[in-house]
A and B are shown apart, each in its own frame.
Chain A
């Protein structure tokens, strides 16, 4: 392999690791709290850590621990896992065109690392790659993914170890909502995307009490449809000869 290519791969890997660092101050406390909660419901240490290793999905792990605590049967546990993680189908589909040229092993590994934050970083890098990084973005994706994975494992372990020593009054769980706010705002690039976000947010609040977190699925679907409708409205206005509406 020629040297310049290797250099840009290493640079992308480092860029991915750096990009994920600020997100870790949102993710690490969340991992910590997961560990605390898991121990609180009486889940054995090995199982609590195994769930982080194998499932590697924060929201889903929180719900699972809650369900196990209330003694829910396994079909409910698995069904909840499917529904809360359905958004990963969307992530997977949206990354797919960019990942087409990759070898299968890359696809299998990167897919495993695709949590919300890694998805948000990877897709925005794929959409707007910096000069010279085109074709090497999978290294960025890998760097962000393994860094987040390692931090999730270690913060979970610390939480399991600390047990109930982290006071709930600190409100550390709020860091995750703030992380998502930090990722959401830059994604609101035009009026269709802002409409998608507003619609999804409102539907999510209205559908919050639906069972099995179905509200999230419904909200994501409504948001996407709303965004497409507004975009189509723009296209129609343009072809009709009108001035393009301000976004």
Chain B
């Protein structure tokens, strides 16, 4: 793509993303939300977050892998345990990264 075309594409990407973010807030500021939709939306956080997380753990670097070839899965599962018990994102990330580095060192040697 040429430079002006790239600029246009970036602006269009921004408009698309913003449109998706603002649309329902505006729409349901004006009309009532159907009951079915209201019940469905409770499941948005668990469903979307899990759909992002699980492939990151099971398909790291674009290839399906299990331990011992998958340090991220081990680190991620332990981090999930930390998150569950402590509800502390800081500890979750710290434990996960520390474990990933240790496992990488062990697996490499």
Confirm or deny: A137 has a beta carbon within 8 angstroms of a beta carbon on chain B: no
Please report which residues of chain B, range 20-44, place their CB below 8 angstroms from some CB of chain A when the two chains form the complex: 20-29, 33, 37-44
Confirm or deny: B66 has a beta carbon within 8 angstroms of a beta carbon on chain A: no
Confirm or deny: A166 has a beta carbon within 8 angstroms of a beta carbon on chain B: no
Q: Contacts A171-B100, A187-B46; is A81 near B16 (CB within 8 Å)? A: yes
Confirm or deny: A45 has a beta carbon within 8 angstroms of a beta carbon on chain B: no
Say which residue of B23, B26, B76, B90 sits within 8 Å of A177 (CB atoms). B76
Asked if B22 contacts A108 (CB within 8 A), the reply is yes
Confirm or deny: A150 has a beta carbon within 8 angstroms of a beta carbon on chain B: no
Please report which residues of chain B, range 56-103, place their CB below 8 angstroms from some CB of chain A when the two chains form the complex: 56-59, 72, 75-76, 79-80, 83-84, 87-90, 92-94, 96-97, 100-101
Closest B-chain residue to A198, C-beta based?
B50
Chain A nearest CB: distance from B12 CB in Å? 6
Asked if B72 contacts A174 (CB within 8 A), the reply is yes
Asked if B28 contacts A196 (CB within 8 A), the reply is no
The tally of residues in A whose CB lies under 8 Å from a CB in B reads 91
Q: Contacts A181-B96, A184-B49; is A205 near B59 (CB within 8 Å)? A: yes
Closest A-chain residue to B52, C-beta based?
A180
Return chain B residues, CB-CB under 8 Å to A68.
Answer: 1, 6
Among A47, A68, A91, the most chain B Cβ lie within 10 Å of the Cβ of A91
The tally of residues in B whose CB lies under 8 Å from a CB in A reads 68
Asked if B53 contacts A177 (CB within 8 A), the reply is yes
Asked if B48 contacts A185 (CB within 8 A), the reply is no
Stretch binding the partner chain, chosen from A54-62, A152-160, A239-247 = A54-62
Confirm or deny: A211 has a beta carbon within 8 angstroms of a beta carbon on chain B: no
Asked if B83 contacts A107 (CB within 8 A), the reply is no
Q: For the complex, what is the distance from the CA of A78 to the CA of B88, rounded to whole Å? A: 36
Q: For the complex, what is the distance from the CA of A208 to the CA of B88, rounded to whole Å? A: 29
Asked if B46 contacts A227 (CB within 8 A), the reply is yes
Closest B-chain residue to A221, C-beta based?
B47
Return chain A residues, CB-CB under 8 Å to B47.
Answer: 196-197, 199-200, 219-220, 222-224, 227
Asked if A114 contacts B21 (CB within 8 A), the reply is yes
Confirm or deny: A90 has a beta carbon within 8 angstroms of a beta carbon on chain B: yes
Return chain A residues, CB-CB under 8 Å to B18.
Answer: 111-112
11 contacts between A and B (CB under 8 A): A78-B9, A180-B49, A181-B83, A182-B92, A187-B46, A197-B50, A205-B55, A220-B51, A223-B47, A224-B40, A228-B43
Q: Which residues of A contact B (CB under 8 A)?
A: 22-23, 25-26, 43-44, 47, 50-51, 54-57, 59-60, 64, 68, 71, 73-74, 77-78, 81-82, 85-97, 99-100, 107-108, 110-112, 114, 116, 119-120, 123-124, 169, 171, 174-188, 192-194, 196-205, 208, 215-216, 219-220, 222-224, 227-228, 231
Q: Which residues of B contact A (CB under 8 A)?
A: 1, 3, 5-14, 16-18, 20-29, 33, 37-59, 72, 75-76, 79-80, 83-84, 87-90, 92-94, 96-97, 100-101, 104
